[in-house]
Structure 1
């Protein structure tokens, strides 16, 4: 493909920083584009007397597309006040660079795609097409009514009361030329993007005559697109339904002012202007711009959301013929925003602009990610505590064993709306959503309708499932009631999952990229069904990347201190690592999930950082480690164990195969309560483990909180740890790899 030239005009405010963060995606995707940078915006106005210098117009003229960051505009008085002193005398007229681009390039169509990038709720995807050159923004606007217009307005009662000096006027200009080309653009967009309907947002109930002419032009243009339906709605009704039911729309087309308002409303529906891209298209020019504005108060703070810049680049790439690459960018933004993976503050994260941009670029490069799951268990009896919720734990374990860790678990009562509300946030965010329980025949079994409600689909009767219910009940001589028919209802289009151990069949369906699995509640029914689904595989769930686990069990360090050391280590490694910490008295476990090729280096870094605290690299206690070493080396202990009251000796004996040995070690465990009260369990206790063998005496010390009776466990584990280290006990670094 021939190389194309893109004029990049960073603008001012946050414009330069969002484009600087997002533009590396062009190189990451290997696109044959030449980026040439130009000047536009407020600095140009202040220093040159024009926000769009001639050199910038020359660049635009020889470019295939224009990518605009953001520009600042101010009222005429403020604009003149900020001019360089030598330019003020000539008092040039300030015209917004946006207006100049649209007028000089005749960019008649503004395109604003709106999509559910954040996930959750009902999926929607539509766009607003705004006419740029006429309507109420045509420039026919006067601070006093012109002479030619006065006869038309003079008899209005408010004009008679206000007088001519107190009346202003504007004209909503609409022409056959302007209407036909924007309506045709709307239908072409619908055809090209797969939308089934065009909605004209107008005000025909008030602007009756001009709107009637618009309808004439709409019907004439629509005749060329018989496969696409069309409708005319009041603009206020469109605004209401955009907020309440955005999924009902395809392409919304409107005159300039109505389109301006609906476009920004679309950004709000998406979750904010930080996600809103735009394109301005003419017959011989274009520019593409994220619509969040220049936000000068935020400039240089690294807080601006680059998502809109990425999506704007995607629009530009599609316009230039790079449709697949544009889709990659959209998929990457969807992936990052739905998983809240390194997002900026406006989306609930704390990432900087550059960090959020890098997350999108990484996703464009198809960096493998670990699939995640949500588990939702249903039943009032679970909330009351009448039944233990064993299903949640078992389902989590089964998913985890297949490389799909559970991100979130919910327990919900028998409430249709609450169940649907629990499912929606995971749609498009988690790869697998497992819903367990509430599929019986009684009126409080509402999971079926809740799942259908969350998916935005109707329930449908499935005869295969009904015959399964009838066959099973008949086999056991159980009466069949009309209520049993509930068990044959499933969300439209779902794949059925037979239940060999009960009447409640399950189902499996895909929605917004998530695999939704609905299963009955009894464990003997749902767990084999889930096992079967996972064994057969979920084709659209991405295979998890190979992950190595580096594990260390530590003693004598608190969780916060361990995390601070390890988090710094992970940051310095430059490797994508997911740390996990678990405190279980007296240990802190550290688990690092990382690419297999990084495991050895991370192990060395971890051992260096925590050398004085590591007990083992396997899931064993210090007592268990010591027992293995003593058996392996045929050693016995001459143990003074009065400090633990025999607990240490008893635990060690339980773990050993034999307490006899050809050689023995002398061990004395002692303590000094340095502060607080021994029996009231306050203050700290200084531990000493003295080991004597043929090489001499060896001593270890550790001070621990005297937190309660369980401190005896700490004494025993400390003694075992000291002995194991003396014997060279920790095994060679060990990592586990999973796919």
Structure 2
């Protein structure tokens, strides 16, 4: 039996997490879920968005899966996602981007993976005011963090039968920070047999829109990864179907990367695909390959048939109907 921390999140989070649990359990995998709250609900109960016991339970169980958590813009509490990544040293953010037949998209045969450094860059949150003149944010890129994320990306290429690794950077302008990241990338990739290249981030954004099928695995610092992973999600149908994983040496947290959508919460209309796909990644991480493939195949069938789709996918099915259809194909 696996014991896994479940963080339902805000808005539609509890609904889609309930749906995910039903799908995962329909495969027959034996999981005991330890549910804890974080985000807005935690503030009301504990006066903090991420109580210490939430971190403690993830450390104890080693693996967690979470729904979306609202982060205030420009004020309020710091991102729970960023806090989890830094407290647990979840240095690698993994975002597979893949087209599904049956889901409306302008592209076919997209199958790429964004590997994003998860602990530094501008996301360290080191900011200060410059009197009344302005404000300054400090970008941190270190050798240690760069080496381990690039090595993670190289290992991912080798372990998953991938063919090419692309480094995304802005070293033409940020010669010290991004220059360091790029030089480390070249030094590590020299020791591997696969093809590798690098691309300036603005060119990467354009080329991903023009020819996303040309890319395989892409590794980059934190900010570029945040932006380009969402851009790539838009290529294949949106954040509602894209999974995410945050992986470190000792712990892993899997998550739906879309927003909490409070406007449709508790209406039985949310699309749980992203959190279900994140659970697929979680099962693979646990070594439950057969169970993960069962869910993947069920999703493919449901999308191909196109009969039971939530409203964001062009259908009229409820969350519950969509989940029941997936479970039917699994069984």
Query: In the TM superposition, what whole-angstrom CA distance separates every residue of 1:469-496 from its partner, at most 9, and x where no partner exists?
Result: xxxxxxxxxxxxxxxxxxxxxxxxxxxx
String of CA shifts for 1:215-237, please: whole Å, max 9, x gaps: 221122113322x1111101122
Task: Give the structure 2 partner of residue 74 of structure 1.
Answer: 72
In the alignment, what sits opposite 2:299?
333
Q: Which residue of 2 aligns with 1:17?
A: 15
Which of 186, 191, 201 does residue 224 from structure 1 map onto? 191
Give the superposition deviation at 1:170.
2.1
Matches within 5 A, 1:636-715: none
The answer as to whether partners of 1:18 and 1:309 remain within 8 angstroms in 2 is yes
Aligned to 2:62: 64
- After TM superposition, the structure 1 = structure 2 runs for residues 132-171 of structure 1, keeping only pairs within 5 Å, are 132-144=118-130, 165-171=132-138
Aligned to 2:79: 96
Q: Partners of 2:191 and 2:82 in 1: how far apart?
A: 32
Contact map agreement 1:307 1:357 (CA 8 A) in 2: no
What is the deviation of 1:192? 1.8
Query: Is 1:311–2:297 an aligned residue pair?
Result: no
5 Å matches for 1:535-684?
Answer: none
- Give the TM-score taking structure 1 as reference length: 0.43
The offset of 1:346, in angstroms, is 1.1
Q: Is the aligned partner of 1:261 residue 2:247? A: no
Aligned equivalents of 1:244, 1:362: Cα separation in 2: 38
Structure with bigger RCO (C-alpha 8 Å, 6+ apart): 2
Contact 2:17 2:275 in 1 (8 A): yes
Cα distance between partner residues in 2 of 1:139 and 1:56: 22
Answer whether contact 2:141 2:180 (CA < 8 A) is retained: no
Q: Does the aligned pair in 1 maintain the 2:295–2:330 contact within 8 Å?
A: yes
Q: How does 1:189-200 map to 2 (within 5 A)?
A: 189-200=156-167
**C-alpha contact (below 8 Å) 1:7/1:63 kept by paired residues:** yes
Counterpart secondary structure, 1:51? coil
Contact kept? 1:201, 1:238, Cα under 8 Å:
yes
**2:171/2:179 contact within 8 Å kept:** yes
CA deviations over 1:185-219 (Å, ceiling 9, x no partner): 11111112221011111113322343332222112
Distance 1:233 1:76, change over 3 A: closer
Correspondence for 1:107 among 90, 100, 103:
90
Specify whether residues 58 and 124 from structure 1 end up closer, same or farther in structure 2 by C-alpha distance, changes over 3 A only. same
C-alpha separation in 2, matches of 1:132 and 1:201: 15
Q: Aligned partners of 1:172, 1:59: CA distance in 2, in Å?
A: 31
Number of residues of Structure 1 aligned to a counterpart in Structure 2: 328
2:259: which partner in 1? 293
- C-alpha distance in 2 between matches for 1:229 and 1:310: 32
> Offset at 1:341?
2.7
Larger Rg: 1
CA shift, 1:97, in A, is 1.8
Is the counterpart of residue 122 in structure 1 residue 108 in structure 2? yes
**Hey, what's the Cα distance between the residues in 2 that align with 1:244 and 1:139?**
33
SS in 2 for 1:112: strand
Distance 2:139 2:55 in 1: 30
1:245 and 2:243 matched: no
Q: Deviations over 1:607-661 (max 9, x none)?
A: xxxxxxxxxxxxxxxxxxxxxxxxxxxxxxxxxxxxxxxxxxxxxxxxxxxxxxx
Q: Does 1:322 align with 2:320?
A: no
**Matched residue SS, 1:22:** helix
- The two structures have a TM-score, normalised by structure 2, of 0.94
Kindly indicate whether residue 161 of structure 2 is the aligned counterpart of residue 175 of structure 1: no
Q: Output the CA distance in 1 between the equivalents of 2:177 and 2:85.
A: 24
- The question of whether the paired residues in 1 share the 8 Å contact of 2:5 and 2:36 is answered with yes
Q: CA deviation at 1:76?
A: 7.4
Contact 2:169/2:182 (CA < 8 Å) preserved in 1?
no
> Does the 8 Å contact 1:11/1:70 carry over to 2?
yes
How far the C-alpha of 1:75 sits from its partner, in A, is 4.9
Once the 2 structures are TM-superposed, how far is the Cα of residue 293 of structure 1 from its aligned partner?
A: 1.6
Distance 1:221 1:15, change over 3 A: same
Match of residue 361 from structure 1: 327
CA–CA distance in 1 between the matches of 2:35 and 2:182?
43
Q: Partner of 1:311: helix, strand, or coil?
A: helix
Distance 1:139-1:346 versus aligned 2 partners, 3 A rule: same
Change over 3 Å in CA distance of 1:95–1:169 after alignment to 2: closer
Question: What is the 5 A alignment of 1:381-396?
Answer: none
The secondary structure found in structure 2 opposite 1:45 is helix
1:7 touches 1:67 (CA, 8 Å); kept in 2?
yes
How has the CA–CA distance of structure 1 residues 112 and 217 changed in structure 2, closer, same or farther, with 3 Å as cutoff? same
Give the SS at the match of 2:317. Answer: coil
Distance 1:47 1:330 in 2: 37
CA deviation vs aligned residue, 1:60-115 (integer Å, no higher than 9, x gap): 222131010121222576x4xxxxxxxxxxxxxx3332122111101111111000
Give the conservation status (yes or no) of the 8 Å contact 2:140–2:177: no
Deviations 1:412-462 (A, max 9, x none): xxxxxxxxxxxxxxxxxxxxxxxxxxxxxxxxxxxxxxxxxxxxxxxxxxx
Change (3 A) 1:256 1:362: same
Whole-angstrom CA distance in 2 between matches of 1:130 and 1:212:
17
Summarize the Cα distance change of 1:239–1:76 in structure 2 as closer, same or farther, 3 Å threshold: closer
Do the aligned partners of 2:201 and 2:224 also contact (CA within 8 Å) in 1? yes
CA contact (8 A) 1:302 1:353 kept: yes
